[in-house]
Structure 1
Amino acid sequence: MLQAIRNKMHGWPAAVLLGLATFAMSFFGIEGYIMSRADTYVAKVGKHEISQQDFQGRMNELRQQMSAEQGDRFDADAFEKPDMKLKVLDGMIDQQLLLKANEDWGVRVPDQAVRDYIAGIPAFQVNGQFDPNMYRTVLAEQRKTPDMFQDDVRASLATQALPNAVNASTIVTDEEINHYLDLRMQRRDISYAVLPKPQPADASVTDAQIADYYKAHLADYMNPEQVSLQYIEVKGSELKPDAPPSDADLMKRYENEKQRFVLPEQREVSHILVNVPANATPDQQKAALAKAEKIATGLTPDNFAKVAVQDSDDLGSKRQGGDLGWLQKGVTNAVFDSAMFALKKGEISKPVLTPDGYDILWLRDIRSGDAKSFAEVRDQLLAEATSGDKDRKYNEVAGKLSDNTYQNPSSLEPAAQALGLPIKTTALFSRQGGQGVAADPKVIKAAFGNDVLAQGNNSNLIELGNDDAVVVRVAQHVAAAARPLAEVHDAISKTILDQRITAAAKQQADALLARLRKGETLAAVAASDNANVKSVADVVRIQPDVPATLRDQAFLLPHPADGKPQYAAVDMQDGSYALLAVDKVQGADLSKMPSDQRNALRQQMTQAYGAVATEELIKALRAGTEIKIAKDRM
């Protein structure tokens, strides 16, 4: 076939076709014929694309965070729901909008702010102080370099820059605080009488009425669906450990990982910073350099700290005389690092242009790098090796359990025999859970899921916690069934009587309320029904000695008018009713509000108002930015 086509491709038709192909390739580029570009972004914010990798990374971070916070209550399936995915993506879009606004408006995060934030992270501290070795070790475990982590921190701080600026510019006036307090701490004088429950007009309940009620409310009298499970559990704490590593093994590990125990060279440095505005003009840069050179003139180790307090623009260090403490390579930016390591002990540098502005450095001391001996770190290596062996043992057994029960989905016996683990059984339990492993939400979900309950398969490996997992299957299934009428006969009779009493109580309360609204006093109306009146002055919204239902209703009633109380009949939620009167309304007594509580309230209101303003800012940024979302790639 191909040869036939080739034979016919001669003459002017071939020339025309070849000409068209050549024109097309020259106009569009040959790449268009040999490769195609498919969009892979999950969202596009202006020109910035949020990739599937970035989105999945954020989902995994949140999943791990929620799992650590919620423990057994964590529901991994929640992260598979479209609403949750869209919520996470919206957050990433908002962050990108804020980062773009920072870029457009010249807002940046200084290096010192990044250093201060990192130094304050407890995971990097030893005895409450930032430790460079711990910093490197933790980052190594996370497979991150200092530069990578600093970029992450800078991006995180950058997304907070505008919201923090909005909060800082939010003003809450004394009048706004007083208005809030006047509502929150409003006082009301109330009177109320809880009415005795009346007798129902018909106190007899027939078997026919009970039978009719039973049929109409059959769902209320069901024994729930129940299952009993067989399960195999693997616990790391119960696994027999392997033999501890020998000194030779530990020495080999020490030699392989010796770099971990090398203390890097460190330098104790102070600095004076002269800020250069973002997007500075040449004149502004010259002015900043001139100021820095003037400061540098006459600087000595004796007066450096005093000048730093007076003239440095770095608010984080100027109060300490410009002291940045002990630094090593990679903690600051490359320019700062280069200048710092070019100095000799005691020297003061000329002004150096860094991303923050012009820095003047004073190298106060040098601490050379050193390596810890095997003897110093032997116990640490042993603990790490032992812990690692336990983890490997657990992962090995759990992995075999998962594989075996997957390959033999209709029985736990093969896995139990292969691994030497017992098959255990739970008691019957409902969807509300039971005892032991049956109390775990993930186990309950699996037990009543289609794969385990309907299909009769073993479950997947279910993580109950650190180094603890199970595989379950249904041992017994009891379907939901109605309880016999004879079993619930008396309970239904009581329910019918209670409903009649409640209906009679409401009818009685409405009649008494009508008398109050016609002008009779609460005392007279309550006495006619053998009820006692209780009066409480200066009731506030949170007051434990007044029933909650009465208190809530009291603050929903209008203010008394023309000296006449406002009345209501209140359902007490126990079958009885009460008559309520609001006799007087007073504003808050602001003189009793301590100043520290007012300041705390001002701070809370500022944060609340700032959050609303930030939401409006993000809405405005969204309105001015083209945003595309590819839900099929989420």
Structure 2
Amino acid sequence: MPPDGWPVVSRRSFMLQILRKSVSSWVGILILLLALGALVVTLFHPTGPGGGSGPSGKVMATVGDSPISETDYQKLVDRAVARERQRTPTITNPDFIKAGGGEMVLQQMISGKAMQAFAGKNGMAISRRMIDGEIASVPAFHVNGKFDEPTFRRLLADQRLSEQELRDSVEQDLLRRQLLQPVVAGTSVPRGMAEPFAALLLEVRRGSILPIPSAAMPDPGKPSDAQLKAFHDENKAAYTLPERRAFRFAEIDSFALAEKARPTAAEVRKYYDEHQQEFGGVEQREVRQVVIRDEAAAKAFVSAVRGGKPFLEAAAGEGYADVDTVLGVHSAADLAKTVNEGVSKAAFALKSGGVSDPVQSPLGWHVLMVDRILPAAARPFPSVSAEIEKKLTDEKTTDLLSDTVAKVEDRLQGGESLGDVAKSLGIAVQTSPALAADGRLFDANYQVTRVEQPLLPKAFDADPGEGPQVVELENGRYALLEVTDVIAPAVVPVDKIRADVEMAWGIKARSDAAKAEAERIAAAVSKGETLAQAGAGKALPPAQSLSVRRLELTQMAQQGQQVPPPVVLLLSTPKGQARVLAAPGGQGWFVVKVDDVTPGNLAEAPQLVDAVRQSLLRDAGNEMAESFVRTIERDVGVRRNPEAIKQVNSRLTGAIAQ
């Protein structure tokens, strides 16, 4: 990891990373989520004052009159760690707290409650209907494109959320939108502010990189027992076995359910007769529409089109692109369900190319145009029977699986054992050995093998005290799961792994020697010597010369390509100076020297200024939103309890304290 102050290349703007403080707060993340419409994230936002049980445990902070309890904090930390495990399978709650995740969660809770209190204080409210609509729009709660109550309940149970907690989360999210979107929309960045940053991207640096391999350093010999023990004590984390869990599981046989769900010939024929519109048996129309808020403007739009103005040209004047006007191909019944009965009647009263009078709905005034009419031409039953059979089988399998899962959950919650339930379903129970979260299996001699086990993330998310449960796997598969043993993290004694510790000690000793040599050479170069002069007499690889432009490295980072850390260091080292940087894995060190710096010339790429301005504008919006939230917190009043925060976090990290 580079020393503090050295830039790190990522997919964010390289220039902004070097010259500006990165905005990584939850506010910036929230704005991005709003842009993507990712409401499902609210499943894991803080609970509001009405959610779940009352405060319990220590009060970690008070926002206005609303306390943030230890219990609620612990719950959110658990959820945050569960999400992070999707990217870092071995992470534990203590790891998360020590990395600053606990403070991030607490600040989220404080900010959420502060905005909720501020909104209430200023008469802002979210209706139950709005909350219902947001929940119903979450794709995770859908089956066959529609909101499904059993799926909704099951996912809440998987996340250990009550419905009220979810509603409070959604309410907070909607309040955040109302409060923050106007703030973000009002930001601006002058062109003059962007020009220096754009010029810096065009800067060219020339320099050299000299590797100092650890392998080129003298053999440090064997360590004494005292040296080995001290090294082991200093690096306990490296010799700590992670938490491991053993569990039993039994996968529900979806293939057997699919066989039970296969429809009869009569059911297939009935579906065909009742859904003629799916098979061309009813007339359909390809329709376009615009929705205009004002009736007079809508009538003027109709007059213009009937007077000869192309529909798409008139729509463009209302801010619609071609694709925005497409309503698609619908039967009369489908269009009535998709929009409303009035719109459907208006569309099916038109001739091909015709434009309707304005039709009112809660959204405004709809003006419709029929692109083409598709006459009824039913596909014969024999040609579609297999298609219908598959559709009905899939739907019935989904329903049967959902019903089976619900019944199994009820039985497990009623106290039946995993073995008894599995036996009644005719499915085999399997046992997994104690595995780490990433699938590693440690034997008595601490040798490691890796076991592929798709249930591992679920096993580590599960609360062992809750007993057996039903969990969802990928592709609509489900399994019964029971955690049977939890082995806490433990330090392996040095005498059990002496050879490994000796090897690591030797690598560290050589790396320390390489660092000392790199620092000696860097100091000599900074005083005027060349790299060749400073490294004379040493068995070192030759220095590599290179010339880099910041813009090219920025583009590499944005494309997901890794920029070598020594090249990154070249960008922040002053002309004529040298700095050192560790190579990964203790392999050695680099000496990086900058020979020349050529300032950027905006005349070479004048369009770059606008691109940089947009990048600055995004960050400015994040910073404005964050500043606004801090102002809200001051208005509402936030009182942290440092002693309680310290005690709770100490307890959470104490699981691996040595």
The normalised TM-score by structure 1 is: 0.57
For 2:262 and 2:163, locate their aligned partners in 1 and report how far apart those are by CA, in whole Å: 46
Counterpart in the other structure of 1:19? none
User: Which residue is equivalent to 2:577?
Assistant: 566
Alignment of 1:383-394 (within 5 A): 383-394=390-401
2:431 corresponds to 1:425: yes
Gaps of at least 5 residues in structure 2 are: 1-48, 52-112, 145-155, 441-450, 638-658
Q: CA deviation at 1:234?
A: 0.7
The Cα offsets for residues 246-274 of structure 1, whole Å up to 9 and x where unpaired, read as 3333445556667877976667889999x
**One of 574, 577, 586 as aligned partner of 2:589:** 577
Q: What does residue 606 of structure 1 align with?
A: 614
Aligned to 2:506: 497
1:272/1:314 contact within 8 Å kept: no
Instruction: Indicate yes or no: 2:255 matched with 1:248.
Output: no
Q: Which residue of 1 aligns with 2:461?
A: 445
Q: CA deviation at 1:352?
A: 6.2
Q: Does 1:552 align with 2:568?
A: yes
TM-fit CA distance, 1:555: 1.0
Distance 1:354 1:199, change over 3 A: closer
Q: Which residue of 1 aligns with 2:239?
A: 221
Question: Relative contact order, CA 8 A, sep 6+: which one is greater?
Answer: 2
Question: Alpha-carbon deviation of 1:55?
Answer: 3.8
Take 2:421 and 2:126, find their aligned partners in 1: how far apart are those partners? 44
Contact 2:194/2:616 (8 A) holds in 1? no
* Residue matched to 1:508: 517
What SS is found at the alignment partner of 1:556? coil
Instruction: Give the distance between the partners of 1:75 and 1:188, measured in 2 at CA.
Output: 56
Shift of the 235–588 alpha-carbon distance from structure 1 to 2, 3 Å rule, reads: farther
Give, in whole Å, the separation in 1 of the partners of 2:287 and 2:244. 69
Measured in 1, the distance between the counterparts of 2:196 and 2:513 equals 43
Deviations 1:146-189 (A, max 9, x none): xxxxxxxxxxxxxxxx98x979xx7985x777644432242111
> Contact conserved, 1:189 with 1:535, CA < 8 A, in 2?
no
C-alpha change, 1:360 and 1:585, in structure 2 (3 Å) is: closer
Q: Aligned letter for 1:390?
A: T
Distance 1:476 1:382, change over 3 A: same
Contact 1:512 1:525 in 2 (8 A): yes
State the alpha-carbon separation in 2 of the partners of residues 243 and 179 from structure 1. 67
Change (3 A) 1:481 1:514: closer
Structure showing greater Rg: 1
Instruction: Work out whether residues 189 and 616 of structure 2, in 8 Å CA contact, stay in contact via their aligned partners in 1.
Output: no
CA contact (8 A) 2:464 2:484 kept: no
Matched, 1:527 2:531: no
How far the C-alpha of 1:488 sits from its partner, in A, is: 1.7
- State percent identity of aligned pairs: 20
Distance 1:428 1:401 in 2: 26
Pick the aligned partner of 2:140 from 59, 64, 71.
64
Q: 1:35-434 counterparts in 2 under 5 A?
A: 44=119, 47-51=123-127, 54-55=130-131, 58=134, 61-62=137-138, 64=140, 77=159, 89=171, 91-96=173-178, 179-195=196-212, 197=214, 203-215=221-233, 217-239=235-257, 241-242=259-260, 244-253=262-271, 304-305=307-308, 314=317, 328=332, 330=336, 378-409=385-416, 411-433=417-439
Quick one: distance in 2 between partners of 1:270 and 1:239?
Answer: 42
Q: Assess, with a 3 A threshold, how the Cα gap between structure 1 residues 266 and 586 changes in structure 2: closer, same or farther.
A: same
- SS of residue paired to 2:260: coil
Q: Which residue matches 2:643? A: none
> Distance in 2 between the 1:441 and 1:67 partners?
24
Change in 2 beyond 3 A, CA 1:239/1:525: same
Contact persistence 2:261–2:397 (CA under 8 A): no
Aligned pairs for 1:530-541 (under 5 A) are 530-531=539-540, 533-541=542-550
* 1:370-402 CA distance string (max 9 Å, x none): 988866764454233322332344334434443
1:560-594 per-position Cα deviation (integer Å, ceiling 9, x unaligned): 3xxxx12223333435333332110013477876x
1:188 counterpart letter in structure 2: R
Question: 2:571 corresponds to which letter in structure 1?
Answer: F
Separation of aligned partners in 1, 2:615 and 2:217: 55
Offset, 1:420: 1.9
Q: Distance in 2 between matches of 1:319 and 1:227?
A: 56
1:50 is paired with a residue whose SS is coil
Residues 242 and 613 (structure 1 numbering): CA distance in 2 closer, same or farther, change over 3 Å? closer
Q: CA deviation at 1:527?
A: 1.1
Give the distance between the partners of 1:523 and 1:419, measured in 2 at CA: 75
- Specify the code of the residue in structure 2 equivalent to 1:450: P
**Letter aligned with residue 536 of structure 1:** S
How do residues 446-461 of structure 1 correspond to structure 2 at under 5 angstroms? Answer: 446=462, 449-451=463-465, 457=467, 459-461=468-470
* Alpha-carbon distance in structure 2 between the residues aligned to 1:202 and 1:366: 86
Counterpart contact for 1:263–1:371, Cα < 8 Å:
yes
**Partner of residue 471, structure 1:** 480
Q: CA 1:316–1:374 in structure 2 vs 1: closer, same or farther (change >3 Å)?
A: farther
Letter in 1 for 2:175: I
| Deviates further, 367-376 or 427-436 | 367-376
Taking a change above 3 Å as real, the CA distance of residues 314 and 368 of structure 1, as seen in their structure-2 partners, is: farther
Instruction: Report if aligned partners of 2:258, 2:393 keep a CA contact under 8 Å in 1.
Output: no
Cα distance in 2, alignment partners of residues 549 and 64 from structure 1: 40
Q: Does the CA-based 8 Å contact 2:298-2:358 persist in structure 1?
A: no
Aligned counterparts of 1:268 and 1:305: Cα–Cα separation in 2? 21
On the 8 A contact 2:523/2:578 being kept in 1, the answer is: no
Classify 1:367/1:224 alpha carbon distance in 2 versus 1 (closer, same or farther; 3 Å): closer
Q: Is the 8 A contact 1:194 1:531 kept in 2?
A: yes
Tell me the TM-score normalized by structure 2: 0.56
Aligned residue identity for 1:233? E
CA, structure 1 residues 481+293, in 2 after alignment: closer, same or farther (shift >3 Å)? closer
What amino acid is aligned across from residue 581 of structure 2 in structure 1? Answer: V
For 1:399 and 1:78, the matched residues in 2 are separated by: 16
Q: Tell me how far apart the structure 2 counterparts of residues 267 and 403 of structure 1 sit (CA, whole Å).
A: 47
Q: Which amino acid aligns with 2:254?
A: G
